[in-house]
Amino acid sequence: MSKNWYVVHTYSGFEEKVKVSIEERVRLKGLEEKITRILIPTEKVIEIKGRKKKETDKKFYPGYILVEMELDDETWHLVKNTLRVTGFVGGARPVAIPDEEVDMILQQLERGPAPVVKSQFEKGENVRITDGPFTNFVGYVDEVDMDHGRLRVMVSIFGRQTPVELSFSQAEKA
């Protein structure tokens, strides 16, 4: 039998524990030849909060892991009966992922895409300016420039809406 990739549904947030648990059970039962790889596809995300940048891993498919295995009764039961696994995508008859999709996911993981910057600011939300000549003014976000880490905030000055350009670190949610 040939090996294929299958999607396994887990409790969300427990993907890493499920991966480690399956790897341990495979090792104990000597099934390394039948279950060869387990992946949790992730990407690097940089979150900017205030003046601090925090790099985190964000899962592409929360609550799912990918398992490369030779599907038979023994391997199906081993994976299915692992703690915090709710089942295979496809139910009692798991469906293998097409090779093209697997190749795309693997290439994305190998490339290690450039980190995605995630801002805590969204267009239309109210913010307070924390630095610069307009400190303590409150306005709403008109535009978010993720590439440069900047905001355009509309502030009421003398009863008139005026755009103010700020860096992410110069504003906070109101």
Residue 152, pLDDT score:
95
Out of 80-89, 102-111, 147-156, least confident range: 102-111
Over range 13-35, report the average pLDDT.
95
Give dist(CA 123, CA 144) in Å, integer: 7
- Residue 125's contacts (CB-CB under 8 Å, 6 or more residues apart) are 140, 141, 173
Residue 107, pLDDT score:
80
Give dist(CA 174, CA 160) in Å, integer: 20
Report which of 130, 16, 20, 1 is spatially closest to residue 73, judged by C-alpha positions.
1
What are the boundaries of each domain within the chain? 4-117, 120-173
In CATH, what class is 4-117? alpha beta
Give dist(CA 6, CA 23) in Å, integer: 15
Residue 113, pLDDT score:
52
For 120-173, CATH gives: 2.30.30.30
Give the dihedral of Cα atoms 43, 97, 77, 14; nearest 10 deg. Answer: 20
Give dist(CA 8, CA 25) in Å, integer: 16
For residue range 25-76, list pLDDT tens digits in order.
Answer: 999 999 999 999 999 988 777 776 666 777 777 888 899 999 999 999 999 9
Query: By the 8 A CB rule, do 129 and 164 touch?
Result: yes
Q: Is the pLDDT of residue 117 over 70?
A: no
Query: By the 8 A CB rule, do 136 and 145 touch?
Result: no
